[in-house]
Amino acid sequence: MKLILPKNIFSNMLSSILPETGVELLYQNSTLIHKDLEYNSASVAMIPSLDLINQRNLFVSNKYAISYTGVLSNSYLYFFKGSKDFKKINLLGDINLNDAILSKILFIEKYNSVIELVHETGNIIDSTKDYLISGDENFNNHTYENAISFADLISDMIEMPYVNFIFASHNKKSMMEFNSCIDNINDKIKKNVELVLENSQFDNIARKFILENIDSVYYDVTKNELNSLKELIKLLYFHMIIDDIFEVKFV
């Protein structure tokens, strides 16, 4: 079975507990994974949850996802100007559809602001700008200590865990095989997290931050996460981003 993953610390935690045989790992930028999945139709992929709006026929795991409820997140907002008169948010890192869509909704609902999103290249941060940064770049420097967890804001907005990544496939049999390849995923990851962090490029400050907040990350899916994903789809409908509320094909 081929498993396509974005390259970040949360996918690394997952890959560290997968069976040593039977799973071939492929890595891609999160925004491009759905395209790889089209060319590898029997594969399973960890995709941003809102990719479903353009890939509604995908089978989605009802057993595993990556969800957040607190300060630990894959994306962070950095308000360097200290102003709440937001007009433009600059995007850095492994930005995906969730970041783009939900940031616009968030700023409308929380700050009553219609923002422009500007993709930037490189990793030089301008202290006069506001940013949304996605992926491991958040942990490669310590400005995240002054940042706001994007996952925490989304979780508060929908009053449910924020389902950031889901596991999906065009092939139902592959999806079922992935569901059965591992059990008790949360417990196994928490037992293994220190080893994963030791093998990461992060320094001790970042490792400590992740370790102290890992309890706010969930890999197992419960009724809460299933309902949360449905709530995210409703949110897009109410903001007229999609024309209808569709059913997710959980397996």
Q: For the chain (length 251 residues), average pLDDT per consecutive 10?
A: 95 91 90 91 96 96 97 93 78 96 95 92 81 92 80 96 97 95 89 92 92 96 96 97 96 96
Domain range for 147 is: 75-158
Q: Which of 135, 158, 181 is the last residue of a domain?
A: 158
Q: Are 169 and 230 found together in one domain? A: yes
Q: Are 148 and 166 found together in one domain? A: no
Query: Residues 32-39: contacts with CB within 8 Å, 24+ apart?
Result: 33/4, 33/5, 33/6, 36/4, 37/4, 37/168, 37/169, 37/170, 38/170
Q: Are 166 and 61 found together in one domain? A: yes
Q: Are 168 and 60 found together in one domain? A: yes
Residue 52: the pLDDT is 97
- 27, HSE (Cβ side, Cα atoms, 13 Å): 10
Residue 209: the pLDDT is 93
Q: Are 220 and 115 found together in one domain? A: no
Count CB atoms within 10 A of the CB of residue 87: 11
Residue 119: the pLDDT is 92
Q: Are 64 and 80 found together in one domain? A: no
Residue 71: the pLDDT is 95
Q: Which of 111, 127, 158 is the last residue of a domain?
A: 158
Q: How far is the C-alpha of 36 from the C-alpha of 130, rounded, in Å?
A: 32
Query: What's the number of domains the chain is made of?
Result: 2
CATH code (residue 219):
3.40.190.10
Residue 54: the pLDDT is 95
Residue 81: the pLDDT is 67
- Helix (H) / strand (E) element for 249: namely strand 249-250
